[in-house]
Copies of this chain bind each other. A is one copy, B any other.
Amino acid sequence: MRYSKDHKAETRERIVRNASVRLRERGAEGIGVADLMKEAGLTHGGFYAHFESKDALIDEAFAFALSQIAARWRKRAENAPPGEGLEAIVNGYLTEKHRDDVGHGCVLPALGAEIARGDAKSRRQFVGVLDDMIEAVAAQIALPPKAARRRAIAIISTMMGSMILARAAGSGDLSDDILDAGRRAALGADEVTSSRGGAKAR
């Protein structure tokens, strides 16, 4: 059969998008060429008409997932009432829905360790996006630039860590508590007592 002019490009994009979901869900070692093609309604043989190798697809799928994060955060901040951009980002991120839908969520909690193990190219891509994320969050914080940046980094760390812990903890009470504690800490809603001044006895 022969197809409309951009049929092939559409197929290719369908494969990439689906791969980026599966990549987040199962990691690079957890997905197979044959399965991905089947999910796209094709057979495995056609794969190499679209991609040079499985690794090449993984790279694209990773880049695709990466590209969504900072943009999504900026959009949330822009749609929030003035002065509530940070709340919008944090509360939009640390949700049960996000916790339970790894495939369509943030790449970082899904692939964090794999990124650290990854090749230089993926790392550089990631650092670029991370800078972007830091900027997006810092822009919502009413502090001098240096302090805002530092605070933004800490907030992002807290969001990532909370999401990973919440997922590892499953979906019970503990998991909900983790999300809650993360939201409060990221938004500075809690008392923060340095242990100087008296630690509890053990």
- Which of A's residues lie within 8 Å of B, judged by CB? 25-27, 29-30, 77-78, 82-87, 102, 108-117, 123, 126-127, 130-131, 138-143, 147-151, 153-162, 164-165, 167-170, 174, 177-178, 180-182, 184-185, 187-200, 202
Contact = CB atoms under 8 A, between A and B. Distances in A.
Given A86-B195, A138-B200, A150-B180, 17 more contacts: A82-B199, A83-B199, A112-B113, A113-B164, A116-B164, A116-B167, A127-B169, A130-B174, A141-B195, A141-B200, A142-B199, A150-B177, A154-B162, A154-B181, A156-B161, A157-B158, A157-B178
Nearest to A118: B168
Given A157-B182, A160-B164, A190-B150, A83 B113 contact: no
8 contacts: A27-B117, A112-B112, A113-B113, A123-B168, A142-B199, A160-B161, A161-B161, A185-B185
Contacts of A151: 181, 185, 190-193
A127 to B, nearest CB: 6
Nearest to A78: B202
A123 B167 CA distance: 10
B165 A185 contact: no
A169 B73 CA distance: 20
A68 B170 CA distance: 22
Contacts of A116: 102, 164, 167-168
A83 B168 CA distance: 31
Contacts of A27: 27, 29, 113-114, 117
A130 B169 CA distance: 8
A187 B150 CA distance: 14
Nearest to A196: B83
A162 to B, nearest CB: 4
A199 B157 contact: no
Contact of A195 (B87, B131, B202): B87
